[in-house]
Amino acid sequence: MSEREVVVPDLGDFKDVAVVDVLVAPGAVIERETALITLETEKATLDVPSDAAGKVAAVLVRKGDRVSKGTPIVRITTTDEVRSPPPAAVSAPSVPAFAPPSGAAPKVPPGAAPAPVRKPSPADTSKRLVVIGAGPAGYTAAFRAADLGLRVTLVERWPALGGVCLNVGCIPSKALLHAARVIEEAESMANCGVLFGKPRIDTERLRLWKNRVVGKLTGGLTLLAKQRKIEVVRGSARFLDASSLEVRDGDRRTVVRFGQAIIAVGSEPVRLPGFPDDPRIMDSTAALELENLPKRLLVIGGGIIGLEMACVYDALGVEVSVVELTPGLIPGCDRDLVRPLERRITKRYRQILLGTRVTRVEARKQGLRVSFEGPAAIEPETYDKLLVAVGRVPNGRNIGADAAGVAVDERGFIKVDRQQRSNVAHIFAIGDVVGGPMLAHKGAHEGKVAAEAAAGHKRAFDARVIPSVAYTDPEIAWAGTTETEAQAQGIDYGKGVYPWVASARSLTLNRDDGFTKLLFDKGSRRLIGGGIVGPNAGDLIAEVAHAIEMGSDAADIGLTIHPHPTLSETVGMAAEAFEGTLTDLYLPKR
């Protein structure tokens, strides 16, 4: 046994780095690779591991100190017989291979690079996980894994955590949709005797407010990662093999070795080929910036994202047109649920062209001239801006997955099993990159499944339903089997519908255009699906999803006392309509 000092290793370009946490105290017995302190640079927070095993005799730094290469951190009485080599630069941590808790060797498919054969030290066997991508799927996985005791490195190429959802998706769009709702509600109060003037829109302040909302949430994630001592590495990751990846951030290259990995690299907007390269052609990210509001906007794509942005621009006074290739708006949703939205926007928007293809876009000085094709096609028209919202493509083909032996299909999706494992058992994939509905809550749920499986828990994706919401006006939400699916699959179902024209709460909100529809299996009378259209449908659908997960039948829902007067009552009343016990409407006996 001998006494020695462990010092700060080579920090690459960084000097004078802040110590944000001291992780050991005198008397602690530590292993090689035990994290001693956490440092924070403007690029990352990182743990400095010990290069030897032993007992801490003295801690030589304090929280708030600044350290550089060679600064002593702790003095330890070593138990290592042979002194270990000093650790590599922090930017290239050496990490033992992962052995699954069962002790079974990770399955590597033919052709995949085998995992490294370095024997893990007992303390690290289950404690090294790298998560690529800090969207809702990735950060949820990283946080859950850290809570379960794994040592986690989170790699993210963007400056802020939160992925598409927080930075350029769910959150900024919902902030702008709130503004749209206030504008439209204020306008609609005129027929109730409350008159406001025409709103004056300060797009700069609206954008700043939206960005502040985003900033609060992404800042919160940074704090949550720090509290969990997650090492955040900035840069773009590519696999080198099945146990390491490189992270590039400008000229800086970091090699991260891992025992297990979770791929959570998300998706990006589809670009339509043949369109001119013109800043007046926006994707959803550009549209959220509200720069130079156009007079006339054409939204290409009548799905959820396109229609939400159409709703925002319409409320801000832009003349909106929508073109959709398929015969109906929001493909995949029951037609009766879409109809109230369609009725409302048909009155407000300039054109809604269904079953229509855009065949050509010419960039001209006075605008973008668009040609159409299809039964409802109109003559070419000129618009000031276009928003292309025709779907998203997964980022699975941009991460060198084949170097790790991970199979990616031709569209960029990674196939996974119910534990979110790819064909390489110690590499998981979650979120948009694995397909299914591209929704934040689906990705976050998968993130927890993957983290728990990685920590050795018996966990699999067994959710029955993933709710979908269009935050348009009116909102549309559905969960479980749709009526269209029930009919196509020949399911013997019964239906309970409650129109909101009979909902006291809806009328007090000055709205009567919504309804709640529940579908029940006729034999078991259990709920199999539901759809809601109207204000706050997105919040209300949670009860439907919960009831399906719990295997609730119509009586369970109808006999649950719902508060009055609320929109939630309409869920109970739709169940009563199916049961034949509804008193708030007169339904002739079946």
Ligand X SMILES: Cc1cc2nc3c(=O)[nH]c(=O)nc-3n(C[C@H](O)[C@H](O)[C@H](O)COP(=O)(O)OP(=O)(O)OC[C@H]3O[C@@H](n4cnc5c(N)ncnc54)[C@H](O)[C@@H]3O)c2cc1C
For residue 300, count other CB atoms closer than 10 A to its CB. Answer: 24
| Nearest approach, Cβ of residue 368 and ligand X (Å) | 21
Q: Decide if residue 481 touches ligand X (CB under 6 A).
A: no
Q: Decide if residue 169 touches ligand X (CB under 6 A).
A: yes
Look at residues 306, 315, 349, 366 and name the one whose alpha carbon lies nearest to residue 203.
315
Q: Which of 135, 396, 530, 572 binds ligand X (CB under 6 A)?
A: 135
Q: Which of 264, 300, 311, 497 binds ligand X (CB under 6 A)?
A: 264
Q: Cα separation of 244 and 255, whole Å?
A: 7
Closer residue to ligand X, CB minimum distance, 17 or 165: 165
Closer residue to ligand X, CB minimum distance, 439 or 532: 439
Q: Cα separation of 588 and 590, whole Å?
A: 6
**Which stretch of DSSP H or E encloses residue 170?**
helix 170-188
Catalytic residue status for 564: yes
Number of residues engaging ligand X in binding (CB under 6 A): 36
Q: Which of 54, 106, 163, 534 binds ligand X (CB under 6 A)?
A: 163
Sign of the dihedral defined by the CA atoms of residues 324, 326, 327, 331, in that order? negative
Closer residue to ligand X, CB minimum distance, 120 or 306: 306
Q: Which of 356, 395, 516, 552 binds ligand X (CB under 6 A)?
A: 395
Question: Residue 185 phi/psi, 5° resolution?
Answer: -65, -40
Q: Which DSSP string corresponds to 402-438? A: GGGT--B-TTS-B---TT-B-SSTTEEE-GGGG-SS-
Q: Which DSSP string corresponds to 212-265? A: HHHHHHHHHHHHHHHHTT-EEEESEEEEEETTEEEEEETTEEEEEE-SEEEE--
For residue 177, count other CB atoms closer than 10 A to its CB. Answer: 19
Query: Pairing state of beta strands 2-7 and 72-78?
Result: antiparallel
Q: Decide if residue 390 touches ligand X (CB under 6 A).
A: no
Q: Decide if residue 254 touches ligand X (CB under 6 A).
A: no
Q: Which of 156, 334, 473, 553 binds ligand X (CB under 6 A)?
A: 156
Query: Pairing state of beta strands 351-353 and 468-470?
Result: unpaired
Q: Decide if residue 232 touches ligand X (CB under 6 A).
A: no
Binding mask 410-449 for ligand X (x = CB under 6 A): ---------------------xx-----xxxx-x------
Q: Decide if residue 158 touches ligand X (CB under 6 A).
A: yes
| Nearest approach, Cβ of residue 494 and ligand X (Å) | 30
| Nearest approach, Cβ of residue 312 and ligand X (Å) | 10
Binding mask 266-305 for ligand X (x = CB under 6 A): xx----------------x--------------------x
Q: Using H for helix, E for strand and C for coil, what is the string for 465-483?
A: CCCEEECCCCCEEEEECCH
Q: Decide if residue 30 touches ligand X (CB under 6 A).
A: no
* Residue 566, CA distances (Å) to 165, 185, 328, 340, 577 in order: 29, 18, 31, 20, 17
Question: Residue 475 phi/psi, 5° resolution?
Answer: -70, 150
- Choice among 178, 457, 546, 564 that is catalytic: 564
Closer residue to ligand X, CB minimum distance, 268 or 485: 268
Q: Decide if residue 170 touches ligand X (CB under 6 A).
A: yes
Locus of tokens 């973008």? 368
Binding mask 72-101 for ligand X (x = CB under 6 A): ------------------------------
* Binding region for ligand X (CB under 6 A): 132-138, 155-158, 163-165, 169-170, 173, 236-237, 264-267, 284, 305, 395, 398-399, 431-432, 438-441, 443, 471
Q: Annotated active-site positions, please?
A: 564
